[in-house]
Amino acid sequence: MKRRDFVLGLGTMAGAGVAVGVDGWRSHPVHQRPSVALSLPSHDAQPLRELAAQKNLLYGAATQKRFLTSDPIFASYFQRECGVLTPEVELKWKRLRPTPNEFNFNDGDWLANFAAQNQMALRGHTLVWHKGLPPWFATHINALNARDQMLKHIETVVGHFAGRVHSWDVVNEAVFPLHHRRDGLRENPWLQMLGPNYIEMAFQAAAAADPNTLLVYNEVALDFDENDKKRAATLALLQRLKAKKVPIHALGIQGHLRGKTKINAEKLKTFLREVSALGLKIMITELDVTDRAFPRDIDQRDRQVAEIYSEYLSVVLQEPAVNALITWGLSDRYIWLKNEARKDVALPRPLPLDRQMNRKLAWSAIANNLKAAPKR
């Protein structure tokens, strides 16, 4: 069996999460089910990667080479908890392309080897995006050479890692309906230089470079009650790609969750079913919870963060098409949310483990949903 056929067949889970209001955070329950109490796990509790594997689901996190090499304690916990590794920056253009004619795979290869040595799947993030570009991009890429440069990048990078990458985020964040295009696409350099067909060109090139990897369209802001237009535009893009027989296999939903912003369970469930009906798998690719709206008190804050995890997971993990859950980081020691600084200057606590590598209530929220999931 080809590896892509295997990952396409991965099962998923359905969790029985918390449906508890917090200080008027939402006015109605997300599910008609009793609340599930959250408590701190024991030190010897099964790691998340094992709980996920028991349901034929993948759990993992994003990280960087420098965190793993400079912090052996963090590296050991990452090895224990994670069955998937997403390079946070090492496979973006800015890191791979020091000059227009050079590729530097040193850091990416190190992470690929680390993942293989620890029986982790490796995700490729990301091939085509309007951010994470090198300084030379603006002066060297134009409408005359953009197609060749994009295809060269995809063919070289995907070809280099062929056989080692579980899934590639081929195109990242291409939808932005507020730009008022009829097709809902984001006005970015790729669209301006190549037109809307740049998306299908990217997927076709990635499929040619590695026919056995899972090819993903990855998008942000699909989760909340306010995201109707974004969901509709994303679904329309997926429908167009499928109608053209573009080799796309999955939708990546980032899941950057914000405190006190409502998740409409029925809308989200409907969207997931519509994506699944297209024959696509779904990956939760960048999950975390911003805690800037919550109290400074750590116990209160951790509980509210955990309840958001549970609310979200008890919706998305009921959809059988979901085959992976990846948090954007594992420990509060290393987070990208520093730019979400709290007004009280307290350190953010968005992830499953704290800065001392202790499992938090957020870890319990994820674990509870994994345990409650039917095996696929």
Q: What does the pLDDT read at residue 5?
A: 46
Q: 372 or 304, which is more confident?
A: 304
Longest CA–CA span in the chain (Å) reads 60
Cα separations in angstroms, 192 against 109, 141, 142, 198, 356: 33, 12, 9, 10, 46
Least trusted range by pLDDT, from 6-15, 55-64, 74-83, 125-134: 6-15
Give a yes or no: residue 160 inside a domain: no
Q: What does the pLDDT read at residue 34?
A: 38
Q: Which of 88, 90, 173, 219 is catalytic?
A: 173
Q: What does the pLDDT read at residue 23?
A: 26
Give a yes or no: residue 328 inside a domain: yes
Q: What does the pLDDT read at residue 15?
A: 32
Fill in the DSSP letter of residue 246.
-
pLDDT at 6 over 50: no
Total residue count of the chain as it appears in this document? 376
Cis bond before residue 213 (omega within 30° of 0): no
Nearby residues of 119 by Cβ (< 8 Å), 6 or more positions away? 83
Give a yes or no: residue 108 inside a domain: no
- In one-letter notation, the amino acid at residue 252 is G
The Cα 348–Cα 354 span in angstroms is: 10
Give 3-state DSSP helix, strand, coil % of the chain, rounded to 5. 40, 15, 45
Q: What does the pLDDT read at residue 376?
A: 82
Whether 266 is a known active-site residue: answer: no
pLDDT at 53 over 90: yes
Q: Which residues pair with 58 in a beta bridge?
A: 324
Domain containing residue 192: CATH number: 3.20.20.80
Q: Which backbone phi and psi does 225 adopt, to 5 degrees? A: -60, -30
pLDDT at 21 over 60: no
Instruction: Name the token pair of 51.
Output: 């709980």
Question: In the structure, what pLDDT confidence band is assigned to residue 42 with cuts at 50, 70 and 90?
Answer: confident
Cα separations in angstroms, 342 against 139, 292, 295, 305, 327: 37, 5, 10, 14, 21
Domain range enclosing 333: 3-84+174-372
What is the number of structural domains in the chain? 1
Whether 50 is a known active-site residue: answer: no
Tens of pLDDT, residue by residue over 146-203, are 999 999 999 999 999 999 999 999 999 999 998 889 999 999 999 999 999 999 999 9
Instruction: Name the token pair of 156.
Output: 């070289």
Averaged pLDDT score across all residues of the chain = 90
Question: In the structure, what pLDDT confidence band is assigned to residue 222 with cuts at 50, 70 and 90?
Answer: very high
Are the C-beta atoms of 325 and 376 separated by less than 8 Å? Answer: no
Does residue 172 sit in helix, strand or coil?
strand
Torsion angle (degrees, nearest 10) of CA 17, 23, 27, 30: 0
Give a yes or no: residue 10 inside a domain: yes
pTM: 0.91
Question: In the structure, what pLDDT confidence band is assigned to residue 337 with cuts at 50, 70 and 90?
Answer: low
Give a yes or no: residue 131 inside a domain: no
Q: 19 or 313, which is more confident?
A: 313
Q: Which residues pair with 124 in a beta bridge?
A: 168
Cα separations in angstroms, 144 against 8, 132, 140, 182, 204: 37, 22, 10, 25, 20
* Percent of the chain at pLDDT exceeding 70: 89
Q: What does the pLDDT read at residue 36?
A: 52
* Percent of the chain at pLDDT exceeding 90: 81
Q: What does the pLDDT read at residue 213?
A: 98
HEC per residue, 58-124: EEEEEECHHHHHHCHHHHHHHHHHCCEEEECCCCCHHHHCCCCCCCCCHHHHHHHHHHHHCCCEEEE
CA 258 from centre of chain: 15
Question: In the structure, what pLDDT confidence band is assigned to residue 339 with cuts at 50, 70 and 90?
Answer: low
pLDDT at 76 over 60: yes
Question: In the structure, what pLDDT confidence band is assigned to residue 340 with cuts at 50, 70 and 90?
Answer: low
Question: In the structure, what pLDDT confidence band is assigned to residue 116 with cuts at 50, 70 and 90?
Answer: very high
Give a yes or no: residue 215 inside a domain: yes
Q: Which of 81, 286, 307, 311 is catalytic?
A: 286
Alpha helices in the chain (DSSP H): 3-8, 48-53, 65-70, 72-81, 93-96, 106-117, 137-140, 146-160, 189-194, 198-209, 228-243, 265-277, 298-316, 361-372
Give a yes or no: residue 213 inside a domain: yes
The Cα 307–Cα 28 span in angstroms is: 14
Least trusted range by pLDDT, from 56-60, 119-123, 170-174, 262-266: 262-266
Q: What does the pLDDT read at residue 248?
A: 98
At residue 338's C-alpha, the angle toward residues 332 and 341, to 5°, is: 110
Q: 16 or 335, which is more confident?
A: 335
Give a yes or no: residue 252 inside a domain: yes
Does residue 254 sit in helix, strand or coil?
coil
Q: Which residues pair with 121 in a beta bridge?
A: 84
pLDDT at 24 over 60: no
